[in-house]
Amino acid sequence: MKVGIIGCGFIGSELAQFIDRNKYFKLIGLNDYDKNKYFALIKKLKNKPKLMALNGIIKKCDLIVESATKNIVESILKNKNLGKKGKKLLVMSTGGLIGSLSLLNKIKNCEVLLPSGAIAGLDALKAVSGKINSLVLTTTKPIKGLEGAPYILKNKVKLKNIKNKKVIFEGNLKDAIKGFPQNINVAATLFLATRFKRIKIKIVADPKTKFNTHEIEASGSFGKIYAATKNVPSKNPRTSYLAVLSAINVIVSLNNKIKVGN
């Protein structure tokens, strides 16, 4: 299977190195607006994929991996070559799908893959979709993982002055994605799994924690579901290493004859 990766940051680099070692896949192309990231990455790879334009990757690859930012997702979905039968698109920046649902719903031949990312419990939540009355996501992160977020800058939140755990945001999915675009893919994935429009999101800054923690609480006619993950941040403090492992699992499962979970 020919693979192309869009985005050569931490996640893209980790996935590229995994694919480079896997005999079932051939990494033929990489894309990043910062060419220095491309050149840094190919030094770590045995095979040397080409630096390709976005259109070239979508046209020539069987599996397209998006690991850039949510801003690129719309351009990928609009590309006419994505509609070719048999293609697969793995999206890491699921927040970018929320504003492009009409485009996503029009895709017929391409299989869109959304890793569970940094959370647990998606199988159960998908099973009770349509029966949920309340869904709350509480994300707690170290100060460093929240620095530079648009909401922080706009509201002049002084993160360094926070000494104890503090709720710094409480709102809906749309506002969360706008205010914390690099922190909230988990919330977008929750919505895409459940299609529950009234997700309540809390973001907590905790200067004393070393983990990215996501707690999900759902209730409805089925009872209650509670799932929590305490993730070790990756080299990118905004990203949990579990997100990388989740993506790798999706890629590996493409060749598995036995599927566990839905």
Do residues 181 and 154 make contact, with C-beta atoms less than 8 angstroms apart? no
**DSSP secondary structure string for all residues of 28-81:** EEEE-S-HHHHHHHHTT-SS--EE--HHHHHHH-SEEEE-S-GGGHHHHHH-GG
Choosing from 59, 141, 214, 238, the catalytic residue is 214
- Give how far the C-alpha of residue 73 lies from the chain's centroid of Cα atoms, to the nearest Å: 11
CA geometry: angle at 234 spanning 232 and 239, to 5°?
A: 90
Give residue 197's identity as a one-letter amino acid code.
K
> Could you tell me whether strands 111-113 and 88-91 are parallel, antiparallel, or unpaired per DSSP bridges?
parallel
140 is catalytic: no
CA distance 194 to 207: 32
Q: CA nearest 48: which of 32, 30, 66?
A: 30
Residue by residue, DSSP assigns 104-124 as: HHH--SSEEE---TT-S-HHH
Residue numbers annotated as active site = 214
